[in-house]
Structure 1
Amino acid sequence: MTERAGSPDMSDDRLRMTPGPTAVPAAVRDRMAEPTPNPDVEPEFFEFYRELTDDLGAIYGDDDIVILGGEGILGLEAAVASLVEPGDRVLCIANGPYGEGFADFVESYDGEAVVCDSSWRDPIDLAAVESRLEEGSFDVATMVHCETPTGVLNDLEPVLALLEDHGVISVVDAVSSLGGTAVPTDRMDVCLGASQKCFSAPPGLTVASVSDRAWAKIESFETRGFYTDLEPWRDAADEEWFPYTHLSSNLYGLGAAIDLLLEEGLETVFERHERAAQRCRERAADLGLSIYPDGAQSSPTVTALEVPGRAEELQRTLADDHDIVLATGLGDLAADVLRVGHMGHNARVDRVERTMDALEAVLEE
Structure 2
Amino acid sequence: MADTTDCLAADRLRMTPGPTEIPAPVRERLAEPAPNPDLEPEFFTCYRNLTDKLTRIHAAGPAGEAPATPDRDTVVLGGEGILGLEAAITSLVSPGDRVLCLSNGLYGDGFADFVEQYDGEPVRCGVPWDETLDPDAVEAAIESADEPFDVATMVHCETPTGTLNDLEPILDVLEAHNIISVVDAVSSLGGAPVPTDRIDICLGASQKCFSAPPGLATCTISDRAWDRIETVETGSLYTDLEPWRTAAAEGEEWFPYTHLASNVLGLDAAANLLLEEGLESVFDRHEAAATLCRDRAAELGLDPYPASHEACSPTVTALEFSGSATDLQERLRTEHDIVVATGLGELEDDIIRIGHMGHNARPERVERTMDALAAVLE
Q: TM-score, normalised by structure 2?
A: 0.92
Correspondence for 2:286 among 269, 273, 283: 273
TM-superposition CA deviations, 1:273-311 (whole Å, max 9, x none): 000000000000111111112422100000001112320
How far 1:268 moved relative to its partner? 0.2
Correspondence for 1:153 among 161, 164, 171: 164
Correspondence for 1:34 among 29, 32, 35: 32
Aligned twin of 1:291: 304
Correspondence for 1:164 among 175, 181, 193: 175
Q: Are the aligned partners of 2:90 and 2:234 in contact in 1 as well (CA < 8 Å)?
A: no
Distance across 2 between alignment mates of 1:282 and 1:167: 42
Structure 1 segments unaligned to the other structure (5+ residues) = 1-9
How far 1:329 moved relative to its partner? 0.2
Q: Aligned residues: percent identity?
A: 68
Local SS of the residue matching 1:106: helix
Distance across 2 between alignment mates of 1:214 and 1:256: 29
Aligned twin of 1:251: 264
Match of 1:262, as an amino acid? L
Aligned twin of 2:365: 351
Correspondence for 1:116 among 107, 111, 125: 125
Aligned twin of 1:191: 202
Within 5 A, what are the aligned runs for 1:59-98?
59-61=57-59, 62=70, 63-98=72-107
Q: Are the aligned partners of 1:93 and 1:99 in contact in 2 as well (CA < 8 Å)?
A: yes
Distance across 2 between alignment mates of 1:183 and 1:281: 22
Match of 2:360, as an amino acid? N
Aligned twin of 1:315: 329
How far 1:222 moved relative to its partner? 4.1
Aligned twin of 2:344: 330
Q: Are the aligned partners of 1:66 and 1:207 in contact in 2 as well (CA < 8 Å)?
A: yes
Q: Are the aligned partners of 2:234 and 2:240 in contact in 1 as well (CA < 8 Å)?
A: no
How far 1:221 moved relative to its partner? 2.1
Structure 2 segments unaligned to the other structure (5+ residues) = 1-7, 60-69
How far 1:246 moved relative to its partner? 0.1
4+ residue segments displaced more than 3 Å? none
Match of 2:190, as an amino acid? G
Distance across 1 between alignment mates of 2:204 and 2:336: 31
Aligned twin of 2:49: 51
Local SS of the residue matching 1:237: coil
Q: Are the aligned partners of 1:273 and 1:300 in contact in 2 as well (CA < 8 Å)?
A: yes
Q: Are the aligned partners of 1:281 and 1:295 in contact in 2 as well (CA < 8 Å)?
A: no
Distance across 2 between alignment mates of 1:224 and 1:256: 35
Q: 31-40 or 272-281: which moved more?
A: 31-40
Local SS of the residue matching 2:183: strand
Distance across 2 between alignment mates of 1:82 and 1:308: 43
Q: 120-129 or 269-278: which moved more?
A: 120-129
TM-superposition CA deviations, 1:110-167 (whole Å, max 9, x none): 1010000100011112221101111231010000000000000000101111111111
Q: Are the aligned partners of 1:174 and 1:193 in contact in 2 as well (CA < 8 Å)?
A: yes
